[in-house]
Structures are given as structure tokens and as C-alpha cells.
Structure 1
Amino acid sequence: AFHLTSNILLPHQDAFYLIAPTPPHVRAIYVCFRYHVWTKGHAPTNFAKWRTATTPYRVEWEADFEPYVVVRKDCPEYDRRFVGFGWNKVAHIMELDAQEYEFTVLPNAYMIHMPHAPSFDITKFRSNKQYRICLKTLKEEFQQDMSRHYGFAALKYLTAENNS
């Protein structure tokens, strides 16, 4: 996903420069959503490769990967432990990976993130140590559940967390 870095709104056709060689004036306006804030969340997508790709390409799961995905309606639901802010998408992507979903990046597809005010929960996460401790406990519980449910195949999730 991309987001605008200014209040300039481009005509619809200009958005397609994102999939072609990007003109300098567009590069200054559209940037990868939160990539510089949370690089790990989107690093496997490899936006440098995406810019020049002409065919879809697969990417592998990595710790803290949280891409925007399009999946069938019958895919696993988000884990209900993670409401508000923190780990909802990461946990969902881990579950999809454990069920051997393939992550394929489409060269001619992207989305634009619509800006909004920070949520109540992200404010709590940033300011409340107890919130962060609770989230850490839920993450550990989720990883243990993954290990019990998927066995040996889920060890990579525990190992990745300990190494990140």
C-alpha cells in the first residue's frame, strides 16, 4: 500500500505511474505505507522488485510480515485475541503461512491508504506499559497455540520471534 505525503491529490491516471518508471514529482508524493516506520512489516514484498516486475512473484513469510492480502472468504479468520492495535495482521499472516498459503505479489496492483486519525488503541499501546505487556503475553500464547496446532512446522514462528 502507498499513502500520500502531502495534500496534493493527483488525477486518477497519475496513480498508474506507480507501476511504471515513476516520475520524480510522483515519487515525492506517494511512498510505501509505513515502510520507514516498520520496515519488517513489508520488507518481503521487495518494492524495488515490484516496481519493475512484469509477472507475479512469490515471497516467503518472514517474522513480523504483515502485507495487505486478498484471500478467499473461507480463509482463517483473524485471531480474536488481537483487537485494537497490535499483532492482528501479523498473527493472521502467520496462520495463512502455517496453512501453506502462497504469498504472491502482483506487479500491476496496489492500493492507496486513506489517512485517518490515530486509533485509541495505538495511543494506549504507545503510552501504557501494561497494554504492551498484555500484548506480549497474547503473542506468546498465540505462538504456543500455533506450535500445538501445527507441530514441527510452526517452530519457525517461535525461532523467528526469538531472533528478531
Structure 2
Amino acid sequence: MVFGFGKIGIGKVIAFLVLIIVLIQIWHIGMLTKHERMTLPNNQKNEGQHGKVRLLISKIENAHVLDSSGSYNIITDIFCHEDSSPTLQNDVTLVSQTSSNNLDDVIALSERWDGAISISVFTHFKDLQFAMDKLLHLHLCFPKIQNRVHFHLVYPLDNDISLDELKHNFASSNCENSMKTFHHQNYEIEGIEYPHNLLRNTAVKFCKTSYVFLIDIDMLPNKYLRREFNTFVQSFKNDSVVFVVPSFESKDDAVIPTDRTQLLRNWRLKKIRPFYFDVCQKCQRPTDYDQWQFLPDSSHLNIAYFVQREDAYEPFYIAKKDFPLYDERFKQYGYNRISQVCEMNIAGYNFGVLNNAFLIHKGFKYRDGFHKNKEIENNRNRDLFQQFKRELRTKYPNSKRSC
């Protein structure tokens, strides 16, 4: 039998044999059992999960960033990820803050908002394990959260956090099952004050966009607000304007509207009403809901009208990132947002109400639905607010506006 090796050449024969061996190996891998092939992704997932745990522990061990009072440790961007969605410098980041028990609300936010989201999470020594497990679960199991949400952790410096215990007690994230929600409420953590304004400032400071949109964690904006705002703001040149987004609250069983037409229909059906309608009407009244309700239809986002700041006004708004930050002395309930809007007014900012933008709080709010110490905290912060206003006169000596 003649193979003709002399004509082909020994080098080509060797190359042919190597190719045959490679093909046999590929065929062998393809013949793995179903169980073996399913195990590979799980191993990769587990390794990824362990890597995230190690990263979290390392971040906590090496956390040296303190707030201005020296009372809280701050760990920024705990997963160190890069957004997969493009972020424009002239873009807007959704900003909020929460305790661990409300972290589930981030799921709906990441579905509704298609850009960057910055969330500050408050925790403490009794809560840290749950908070870490919950954050890891959300990050691993929800791709939009993984790609869009930057989490920042804030906890009291004097808390005794056992890192050794934390290292051994991380729960394995099963994405087919949701984690149980923690039972504590924001204002009911005995002996630990909830630092709203520190959390807000932390989430704002680490945004990478020119604009920020500060909301409560249990609110949802209309569906295409980011895209429409980015188009609108390209030709808007006045940096002293903040863009007020009218806020509403919706019945628990009502479908959250995606656009203004749906909102107005639900408003007529009394499934939706202005935010804080029962709790504090003057807190939102200057937005002028009657005027907003009867605006002519428009296909473009724009400023419909300007409003004057009044006593206790606390709108939700989009603003340039360099606006006056929140006074971090205000904790627990009362005056934490009112004080900041007060300073915005004295600093010369004007409040323009957007026509096609809105926020929806999930559930009606009632006066009797707050925690037991609400009035005590409110009275204490009212006194602080009076001091704060005196300080503003010194800070803005040439301002002709009052608060």
C-alpha cells in the first residue's frame, strides 16, 4: 500500500495527525453527560459569588472613608462594576437611599429607569449580615441591577461588626427564590438614628453624570423620563433651574401608570392622588396640581410653568449635580428635605415644573401610618431648622430671598 508520504511531506502529515487529535478531544467534550455539562455553569456561578463575597469583605475591612461628622463609615460602589449601558456626561442618574428592608424596591426601579442608579444603603451591626446577603442576591440575580445600580454602604462607626462571623455566614444566592424581607422599619431601629441626608449626599457625590434625580426608594418615575429629559436638556442652558417632577401616590391595587395619559385616567378614577394628600398637603401644594392636570397634551418634555417656594415645600426634582447638598445634621423624621429646598431657594435656584414627568409612590400615605416617635423627631428637627435658617443668612448675605 502506497500513501505517497514522499509527495505530501512529513510536516504536513504531522499537522494532519494533530488536527485529528484535536477533533477527537472536541468530540469527547461534546459527549459529556447532561449532568456534567450543567455543572460547569453552576461552578462558574459559585466561583463568581465567592469572588463577590471576598470583595465585599475586603471593602469592609479596608473601609477608611468617614462622613464629615466622623460618626459613619462609608463604602462606595461596593461591587466596583462598570455600567454596560452608555452614560452621557449630560445624562441624569437616579438617586435614592434606603435601609436593607426596602432593597427589593430597587428591582422595580431598575426595570423602569434605563440609566445609571446610585443607591445608599444604611445598615448596622445587627443588620449587616442580612444587608450583605440581600445586596449580593440582587447583584447576582438581576442583570439590570448588576449593569445599572451603584450601591454605597453607610453604617455607624461605633457598631461592633464581626467580620469573621460575616465571612462564614453568607447565604448562597438562589435566584429562583426571593430572600425574605427584613422586619425592621427605617425609623424603628432602637438607639440608631436614620441619617437620611448623609445617605442622599453619599449617593449624589459618586454619580458620574451632570444631572441627578433624587427620589424616595418606593417611588417610580414615568417610563421614558430619562430619555426625554436627555433630549430636552441638550438645548437648556440655565443652570439655576431645578426641574420639579410632580409626585403622586397610588392605591396598592392600582397599576402604576407609564405615561401622563394613564396617570390622568387613574386620577379621575381616584386610584391616584397628589403625594402627601392626607399627610401634608402644604408640602406639595406649590407644585400646583390643578394647573398641571389641565396642561395641553404635548409630545415633548418641557417646563410647563415656574412656581415659588413656600413654607414646608419639599418637591422631588432633577438638578445639576453641583447644587447645595443636604444638611447632614437632620436625621430621622422631619425637615430633612424641606431644609435643602429652603437653601436652594435662598441660593437663587428657580423651580420649573415639567409637563410630562411624574413620580408615583406605591400606596396611599395616611397620618396614622407613621412610627410612634414621629412627632418627637419632627419637633426636634423643627428647632434645628430655625438654627439652620439663621446660618443661611450668614452663608448667603447678599440673597434677597427668605425662607
TM-score range, shorter chain: 0.7 to 0.9
- 1:77-116 CA-partner distances (Å, limit 9, x unpaired): 1111112211011111011111111100011110111349
Separation in structure 2 between the aligned mates of residue 70 and residue 108 of structure 1, nearest angstrom:
14
TM-score of the aligned structures, taking structure 2 as reference length: 0.33
**CA–CA distance in structure 2, aligned partners of residues 46 and 117 of structure 1:** 19
What CA distance in whole angstroms lies between the structure 1 residues aligned with 2:307 and 2:274?
17
Is 1:124 matched with 2:373? yes
Q: Is residue 79 from structure 1 mapped to residue 324 from structure 2 by the alignment?
A: no
In the other structure, the counterpart of 1:161 is none
> In proportion to residue count, which structure has more helix?
1
Deviating 4+ runs (over 6 angstroms): none
Question: Share of identical aligned residues, percent?
Answer: 24
Is the 1:76–1:96 Cα contact (8 Å) retained in structure 2? Answer: yes
What is the letter of the counterpart of residue 286 of structure 2?
P
Question: Which whole-Å CA distance do the structure 2 matches of 1:149 and 1:11 have between them?
Answer: 42
Distance across 1 between alignment mates of 2:387 and 2:334: 14
* Cα offset, 1:9, TM superposition: 2.2
Q: Which has the higher strand share?
A: 2
Is structure 2 residue 275 aligned with structure 1 residue 30? no
Q: How many residues align?
A: 148
* Cross-structure match for 1:47: 289
How far, CA to CA, are the matches of 1:57 and 1:31 in structure 2?
Answer: 20
Deviation, structure 1 residue 135: 1.6
Which residue of structure 1 aligns with residue 43 of structure 2?
A: none
Amino acid at match of 1:145: E
C-alpha distance 11-64 of structure 1, shift in aligned 2 (>3 A): closer
Secondary structure at the counterpart of residue 147 of structure 1: helix
Whose relative contact order is higher, 1 or 2, with alpha carbons under 8 Å and at least 6 apart?
A: 1
Q: Counterparts of 1:25 and 1:125 in 2: how far apart (Å)?
A: 29
Is 1:16 paired with 2:261? yes
Write the distance in 1 (CA, Å) between the matches of 2:257 and 2:266: 16
- 2:317 and 2:338 map into 1 onto residues whose CA distance is 12
Please, what TM-score do these two structures have when normalized by structure 1? 0.76
Question: Partners in 1 of 2:401 and 2:317 — Cα distance?
Answer: 24
Q: Distance in 1 between the 2:359 and 2:401 partners?
A: 33
* C-alpha distance in structure 2 between counterparts of 1:148 and 1:96, whole Å: 15
Q: Is the 8 A contact 1:84 1:122 kept in 2?
A: no
Secondary structure (helix, strand or coil) at the match of 1:148 reads helix
Higher CA-based Rg: 2
- In structure 1, the residue matched to 2:386 is 140
Q: 2:309 aligns with which of 61, 74, 82?
A: 61
Contact 2:326–2:340, Cα closer than 8 Å, also in 1: yes
Report the AA paired with residue 387 of structure 2: E
Q: Which amino acid aligns with 2:347?
A: Q
Q: 2 CA distance for matches of 1:65 and 1:91? A: 9
Give the alignment's Cα RMSD to 1 decimal: 2.8
Aligned residues of 1:58 and 1:104 also touching (Cα < 8 A)? yes
